[in-house]
Structure 1
């Protein structure tokens, strides 16, 4: 049964990173229930859910909902007449499998965003503090005469690029030199007028989606940093025919896991909130573009969302922006009223 369901998912071109955790969960649930899939009951699901919600290692509602979805999909596979498991179980064991997940024993998806409340956009002060810390760290390491100035410059520029273009972690790490594109309307930016993302988030087994993220005037400071990295710092490593934009000291591409660990360390050294992750910079990018007055459709295209509603989830405008917007509305409404009088 597990092998057949695994083949079904691979036929949909789903990634191993999606399939393997699902199969592992089914094995875990089978061991918990102490029975085979054709013997599972709705009560087994409820007992399993209660076990996930108890103790210090209590799981988040979104994680439990994902477990329920996996169990539901597997049961749908078993009950599909095209695979013959119903008749096979009835013939061999005298019982047939059933759908053990239903609307009354599974977590409902009620909110668009189910992430941790602490995962929020950086404030302007936090961003300035982080960037100042990164720049100071490069200067401090360079003055000390120790190794690490080159890596510190790379880390600083990676973090700044992630924010300036609203990139996901994987999109950032998989950038190549060829992905830096010019903007014919801003020739002074050279080849840093846009970033071509070739490894955007795939959906349901599709190939990675592509998009071009334009450099916006409010973030034009990133151009000087990228130019310094590409033209001065990166060549010191003698990359030869390596195309990766971000390289390690061993001339290997910086991995997503490595970048996550580096950012966690930098965040701790900068004394920032532990809930702020590298992906929060993407939330900051969306929020700040909205505050700068860019149309919602433009922001949606920049970050590669399919729907504006997804972009809205990322948006968390500041109180200052709300106050300015309200003042503008008051002036527009009441000034017009006074003129009419």
Structure 2
């Protein structure tokens, strides 16, 4: 069965803060057994999660991390929230240094010559941290140093090969993602250009339609103004007609009422008789004379026409008065 190997460093943590800055770190090897870390699920099994090996290049310490050990040594607390306990422990054992914006770090405390304590520190700020839990590790015998050295080198080579394969696969994937990203960018730019061109075309067509509608509105407004003007003129003409009709009707109404007609004066009767005598004398003289009728007619045409016009007007007035006298009473 192939296991995963993780290599990382752990700092030396002295409780009295007397650790020199030149102190060499401790090197940690984690052989992960590919088990799912779940401390919340109730089970009677106690699986092994990983094998930790710590060295300062002179001595080796080793411990097997089990489920019961993690439940006992790393209980939920302010530094290790129950909701994120599984994730924090798994990542810390695999060598991760950050989780949710907080730094996690393993620190080694030397208890005695044969034992060390490995603490999990969760940093809130640079100098403020809390202890999530710790495990004690026993020192291995000198007879196992050569065996551990060979296993360390072998595991380092395996981990390096896996890391190189993973890095190569990630580089290929990254290159593919970059190509896809570039294609998407090019497609986005082309879509932007097409969108701008389509918008400009749409705006130009819309402006044409809008201008045509405006011209049509102006034309219709002119027609409405013309029709209103014609309507006002027609109303004025109708008003004039109604006024004239009213005048005519009022005149007719006045005529329908009986009126007092003045009597014919003696002078008017004398004038009528003189005109009749003059006409008869003139007709007799024209008949007795030897002047041709056409000459008489020519000589009398101008004066006769004027006289006839006046005579006709007087006759019309006389007839009107006479007709009214037939139906009306006169007061003498």
- Please indicate, yes or no, whether the TM-score normalized by the shorter chain is above 0.5: no
Larger Rg: 2
Q: If the TM-score is normalised by the length of the shorter chain, which range does it land in?
A: under 0.3
Structure 1 length-normalised TM: 0.18
Q: Considering fraction of residues, name the structure with more strand.
A: 2
Structure 2 length-normalised TM: 0.18
Q: Between the two structures, name the one with larger relative contact order (CA 8 Å, sep ≥ 6).
A: 1
